[in-house]
Amino acid sequence: MSVLAVVPFLVLAACSQQDAEPGATGPSALEQKAIEKGCPTMGTLPGDYILVQGNTPDHKNRFRILEEGDGLAMWYVDGGFTRRVMRGERREHDYKFVEVPDARKKAAFEAGDEPLKVVYVEPRLEKCALRVSRLELFRVDGKDVEKGSPLFLEYVKFPANQPIAWAPCDGDLFLYDAAKRYPEARKQLDEMGGPKIDHPLGDAIPVAAWSDPAADGDASCTYDMDLYFDDLPVAEGQALPAGDIVDGMRHWYVPAWKAPYSGNHHFEIHRYRTCADGGRERIGVNCLEAVLQ
């Protein structure tokens, strides 16, 4: 069953006005009731959430809140395939999450060329939901200025056991010739600054990631991968063994990945390591948003 088929029922149940119990005497009583029902509170925010407008969910707008040290972080998706890493600051009634930029975007932000994303999250205990505002942070004349619509949006808990990718990408993915030969992949990185994104549509697209075996872990461990396409797991692409070490690089190779139609598509390889003294551990997420024509 799809995400979109399941969530409307969840929303109708979660947003029931029965949350406001007549006997509740104040915020502490309401918060305790929310905790008992599994609703988000300031102290229980970690989890997965999806945007709802009316009774319509939108899985392209979602985020995961997770614990990070003594605070909270967010993996944030706001309408596309990009998953941004955000860091949270607790305030009196809400959390403020600000995008953590990579080196390129940090330089662009400081130069005033690109904004960072800002997300405010406030639990609405009586609705078992989060009230969210989404803004952008600009550097203007050396000062940080937030801009955007003050419109509040409602997010509810993402339905459990619905398969979708959450983890931010942290490595490159290559198609066609660069998927087959590391020197071609290296050439694209050196000459273009990243993988080539424009490719022909095909029923059997070669796709691969390349990684440093020493960085992956001990040679005695085993390595495998899970495949995701447009955010969703590929049915026959789970726990596939990694390839051999070629030209000094581990080859995470999928020789024939099928894309059903043209347009922008998001390919992902989630790389895993399993060692004798531990369980299966994800060690990287390699991605490419390709334009197939």
- DSSP character for 18? G
SS3 113: coil
128/187 same-domain check: no
Model confidence over 219-270: pLDDT tens digits?
999 999 999 999 999 999 999 999 999 999 999 999 999 888 899 999 999 9
Query: Residue 282 falls within a domain, yes or no?
Result: yes
What is the CATH classification number for the domain harbouring 183? 2.60.40
270/199 same-domain check: yes
111/249 same-domain check: no
210/285 same-domain check: yes
Count of helix runs (H) and strand runs (E) in the chain: 6, 20
Contact 122, 27 (CB under 8 A): no
179/280 same-domain check: yes
This prediction's pTM = 0.84
- What range defines the domain where residue 270 resides? 171-292
pLDDT, residue 167, reads 96
Residue 47 has pLDDT above 80, yes or no: yes
pLDDT (average), residues 17-45: 71
Which of 157, 189, 223 is the C-terminal boundary of a domain?
157
Give one DSSP letter per residue of 181-196, joined into a string.
-HHHHHHHHHHHSS--
153/181 same-domain check: no
Categorize the per-residue pLDDT at 27 as very low, low, confident or very high, splitting at 50, 70 and 90. Answer: low
Residue recorded with tokens 């290296």 = 186
Per the structure, the count of domains in the chain is: 2
61/149 same-domain check: yes
129/197 same-domain check: no
112/81 same-domain check: yes
Contact 175, 152 (CB under 8 A): no
Which of 123, 157, 191 is the C-terminal boundary of a domain?
157
Query: Residue 162 falls within a domain, yes or no?
Result: no
Q: Give the whole-angstrom CA distance, residue 91 versus residue 66.
A: 17
84/193 same-domain check: no
SS3 27: helix
84/39 same-domain check: yes
Nearest partner of 165 among 282, 25, 244, judged by Cα: 282
Question: Which of 22-26, 130-134, 165-169 is the least confident region?
Answer: 22-26
What's the CA dihedral at 93, 95, 96, 98 to 10 degrees? 180
pLDDT (average), residues 104-111: 96
Which of 90, 123, 157 is the C-terminal boundary of a domain?
157
107/177 same-domain check: no
Query: Residue 163 falls within a domain, yes or no?
Result: no
Give one DSSP letter per residue of the chain, joined into a string.
--HHHHHHHHHHHHT-GGGS-TT--SHHHHHHHHHHHT---TTS--EEEEEEETTEEEEEEEEEEEEETTEEEEEEEESSS--EEEEEEE-SS-EEEEE---HHHHHHHHTTSSPEEEEEEEEEGGGTEEEEEEEEEEEETTEEEEES----EEEEEPPTT-----SPP-EE-EETHHHH-HHHHHHHHHHHSS---EE---SSEEEEEEE-HHHH--TTSEEEEEEEETTEE-TT-SSEEP--EETTEEEEEEEEE--SSSEEEEEEEEEEEE-TTS-EEEEEEEEEEEEE-
